[in-house]
A and B are shown apart, each in its own frame.
Chain A
């Protein structure tokens, strides 16, 4: 899934390195596969074109926010403002795209807002040395407030053709996800991108080796912001309108997906393919529970239990000799 080649850097070293990164997540891949099979049995429609489209569409925003959270956690940071940023992306899309700016202008503003918010957050956390968890907590108020200013109550509109393209009977979400994963691989093949790991795991050593630690971390926040507003744009397209609080649940889910995917809190631990698999697993669990007729409420309960279980069981095994 995330093993897609990046055209420029193929070589005798690149591929073995990529293959080695699978080692930690193999069992996770198996679990995801098992869930996919179970889901396919319960819901054979998955293998039709429209079923596949619907499924990837429900997964897509979660995949994006999982990536947004994972990239921060890899650098040793975290964001509690992901949900608010998703909401902001959604309301910007819903208020600009149907207007004179058009879709292109709307996309541009969504992108700029994401990059700008992320970079500003990163600057405050990295350069002013404030704890990420508190900064993003305060940031979630500011960003959420901005979303409320732009669109005080659900409304706005997304051009119907765009909604149809992204959230209709098309594999557009899947294609987009593949493109995003390819871009991520490309970023990770740049010196700045690969510095993420060193900056998160051994910042002192990385600094001594000449890695631009601060730049790598600020860039991570910017990319995280971009992925979050992008997820918001997609959610707006799915619903056809904007909602200033639609993203709220994504904060928890992004952390849950990243942790399910094996990303550690201490920085430098885990892989993006793991985070994507974690988001897929979470998305599958939600879908399976829905299909089994769980009420949304029971889903909450089960989700809480599953997350604790998934995180605790491997730990518990480690403790037992």
Chain B
């Protein structure tokens, strides 16, 4: 089997951004008729590897090979010619164009120099049929839900009749039915001799669908083997480099009866009519499927989006803050999920980023003291183990360190309530551990921590209580004794009632 030249391969590929090595000597070979899993934690270098394979990035060292021949200057155009199609996590769709126009984008059938809409309709329809998209082809993509857009993206890849199909977390926003359609489809494509690279965090999917696995950890390849004879726990060990249990610190409950935030009939964004108590000294988890309104809950409490409540007490003051400066004054701090878009000023120095909340609350025209700022920055950096010159722009930092800066900037203000939106997304394991320790430390110091997370183990192992959100309501509040991944997931899916009945 290994005598067949791989359709697409990387040999000893390396890549660094802003001096941070992201990939170090990684090799991978995609064979025809095989679904190849690529596993690794967020930030392990998976997306970078895909970008190298598809020509979107050029490796600093090593080679990309197509049909066993090295391609020294791989470009997206060459990759397309070689029959490589990529379904990226970040969609390549245009909201104002129709489904069909998006599917054909960049490869329209032509007649007399014009787009042949009849031919496009026929071919796009065929691609849509494969993925079970039955919306009218003329529907603008902007009107579709996220899961349906993902299916359009997959149809777009299939439209090009690829020999190599690379899918980067294609199921993260898909419903169960859509996921089933996709896995069936991939089985069939594999039977037709297509090489498939499949990236997913859902290990059961990987175990069911794939034959071969490559595991990345911190930019190096830790496994390249057949999936036969492995189990999910073994895969996790390969990804994390330790037993999953070690990741979380040991901790004692430190919750006090004092309430930090108490709201009744709270509504904001998707959240409708929610009652919630957050106690001082606890870590309250917020879980649920993606996009059920969890983020609106945090943003509403923080005053960043319009919110109303029948009654509310925030750190002793009655009424919702109604604005971010007011919320800060009441001792609330918020760490957003999307560091690059919402959390940091990437082009500004690390130090300036750390000082921003201070700048926001100091009197506007008071003279700044550069010396104090430097000292504050230094002590924060020491406290959180952020290395290097603080005058470098924040974009020079790795994801984990960026997250630390996003946390660090609130520390000088000693917030009473920390609202954290998925703080460990795209963060390496070491930093994760540090962040977990820090969070429990805050709780032990009597602060309230609200941890919104898409990572269920995090909720189970770190939280005193977990509020599960579904369709804009808190459908369950699980106490520590009742916490398990299964309990959270079933509450998130709305399955717990049936279960009790059964």
Contact = CB atoms under 8 A, between A and B. Distances in A.
A and B, direct touch (CB closer than 8 Å): yes
A201 B94 CA distance: 6
Interface residues of A, number: 33
A198 B94 contact: yes
B92 A9 contact: no
Interface in B79-126: 80, 86, 88, 90-98, 100-101, 105-108, 110-118, 120-121, 124
Contact of B91 (A14, A189, A205): A205
A141 interface: no
B157 to A, nearest CB: 10
A9 B115 contact: yes
Contacts of B101: 17, 194
Which of B94, B100, B110 is the most central at the interface, judged by chain A CB atoms within 10 Å of its CB? B94
B156 interface: yes
Interface stretch (A207-215, A229-237, A299-307): A207-215
B2 to A, nearest CB: 31
A269 B114 contact: no
B77 interface: yes
Interface string A179-216: 00000001001110011011001101111111100000
Nearest to A189: B114
Interface in A139-174: none
A20 B121 contact: no
A313 interface: no
A16 interface: yes
A268 interface: yes
Contacts of B105: 195, 198, 206, 209-211
Nearest to A320: B306
Contact of A20 (B110, B113, B138): B138
B56 interface: yes
A211 B111 contact: no
A179 B90 CA distance: 40
B390 interface: no
Nearest to B139: A20
B76 to A, nearest CB: 6
Interface string A14-29: 1011011100000000
B92 A268 contact: no
B293 to A, nearest CB: 15
A190 B95 contact: no
Nearest to A271: B96
Contacts of A12: 117-118, 121
B140 interface: yes
A11 B101 CA distance: 14
Which of A6, A186, A210 is the most central at the interface, judged by chain B CB atoms within 10 Å of its CB? A210
Given A9-B115, A12-B121, A191-B110, A206 B92 contact: yes
A8 interface: yes
Nearest to B136: A16
Given A19-B138, A211-B105, A9 B91 contact: no
A297 interface: no
B487 interface: no
Contacts of A13: 98, 100, 117-118, 120-121, 124, 137-138
Contact of A190 (B76, B98, B113): B113
A204 B117 CA distance: 25
B136 to A, nearest CB: 7
Nearest to B54: A208
Contact of A8 (B114, B138, B156): B114
Interface of B: 54, 56, 76-77, 80, 86, 88, 90-98, 100-101, 105-108, 110-118, 120-121, 124, 136-140, 156, 306
16 contacts: A8-B112, A9-B114, A12-B117, A13-B120, A13-B138, A17-B117, A189-B114, A190-B115, A194-B101, A198-B97, A201-B96, A205-B91, A206-B92, A208-B88, A211-B105, A268-B95
Top-4 shortest CB links A-B:
A205-B92, A210-B106, A16-B138, A13-B121
Interface of A: 6, 8-9, 11-14, 16-17, 19-21, 186, 189-191, 194-195, 197-198, 201-202, 204-211, 268-269, 321
Given A197-B96, A204-B92, 6 more contacts: A12-B118, A189-B114, A194-B108, A194-B115, A209-B92, A321-B306
